[in-house]
Amino acid sequence: MFQTLFSIGDQQISVFLVVLVILILSLSQRISKLMTSYIFPTVYKRYDLDRGVQFTFDKIFHYTIMVLAAVISLSTIGIELSALTVFAGIVGVGIGFGLQNVASNFISGIIILFERPIKVGDRVLVDDIIGDVEKINMRATIIRTLDNERIIVPNSYFLEEKVINRSYGDRVMRLVLPVGVAYGSDVNQVREVLLQVAEQERLVSPTVLSKPEPFVNFVGFGDSSLDFELFVWISEPDKVIVMKSNLNFRIYNMLAEHNIEIPFPQRDLHVKSVDPEVYNHYAE
């Protein structure tokens, strides 16, 4: 048990010391899991902290515990931290040459946890893909899309690229629903119908807000239709697809109920001249 396995400088490393280090790290891991799974949730619930804050505290606590465990393990073995300066220098050279991206993503992950441009539970738009932040790891962030697929995004992406965070700050979001009606329709009636649609949806869904008020925008005159937009504000960005679908159903039913036509693109073909032989052939 106390037989020497190898040496680090003048320090003899035995089987007992290796087992002791493993026990220290394992115990620290279990303590971290116990605190974040059973103790901290009661505190979070008491102070009504959101998921993003909870995740940040859990990660910081876990990293702190594991760093302390590593320091205690090294001290137990008898290795002084000052003796690791050479090793740190070697690691620094390695980072400079081959581990730049890994180091960048790790540091970006720490910045994200503290600065919180995104947090767990946020709805984000990355490369035209909508998803919810599920987990922020040391190297990458996991985003769950609306199709229940997982996208693994390097942490540095959120600091270097433009990312739309629909949950950042104010969660209120505006929905824009385009509507086209046939030429000759009563535009005032169209506006009233669309506002009725918004009001009806608000009465059955608390997600739709009364302030700011719904608004109908007369966009202009299209090739085949008079173009409108219905602006509706909602309080929960994660329900944007459901709300758009519900409102579109209501718009279609309300327009049909008021005999307001929804046109479709069409083209008129005018024939100026026809070859006599062709005309006679089809006339027969």
Per-residue pLDDT tens over the stretch 25-78: 899 889 988 988 888 888 878 777 767 678 778 888 888 888 888 888 877 776
The pLDDT of residue 110 is 79
What CATH number should be reported for the domain whose range is 117-165? Answer: 2.30.30.60
C-alpha dist (Å) from residue 210 to 36, 174, 251: 40, 12, 18
Name the band, by pLDDT with cuts 50, 70 and 90, for residue 4: low
Backbone torsion region of residue 282, taken as left when φ is above 0, otherwise alpha when ψ lies between -120 and 50, otherwise beta: alpha
- Which pLDDT tens digit goes with each residue over 207-266? 999 889 999 999 999 888 999 999 999 998 888 889 999 999 999 999 999 999 998 877
For residues 253-280, give the mean pLDDT.
79
The pLDDT of residue 151 is 92
The pLDDT of residue 179 is 95
Domain 173-257 of CATH type 3.30.70.100: yes
For residues 162-175, give the mean pLDDT.
85
Can you give the residue ranges of every domain in the chain?
A: 4-112, 117-165, 173-257
Strand (E) or helix (H) holding 181: strand 173-181
Averaged confidence pLDDT in the chain? 83
Say if residues 227 and 221 touch (Cβ distance below 8 Å): yes
The rounded distance, in Å, linking the Cα atoms of 238 and 166 is 9
Name the band, by pLDDT with cuts 50, 70 and 90, for residue 153: very high
The pLDDT of residue 236 is 87
Pick the CATH number of 4-112 from 1.20.1070, 3.40.50, 1.10.150, 1.10.287: 1.10.287
For residues 159-173, give the mean pLDDT.
84
Strand (E) or helix (H) holding 77: helix 51-77
Name the band, by pLDDT with cuts 50, 70 and 90, for residue 21: confident
- Which pLDDT tens digit goes with each residue over 91-144? 666 656 656 777 778 788 878 877 788 888 888 988 888 899 998 887 889 999
Say what the pTM is: 0.59
Name the band, by pLDDT with cuts 50, 70 and 90, for residue 175: very high
The yes-or-no answer to whether 117-165 and 173-257 have a common fold is no
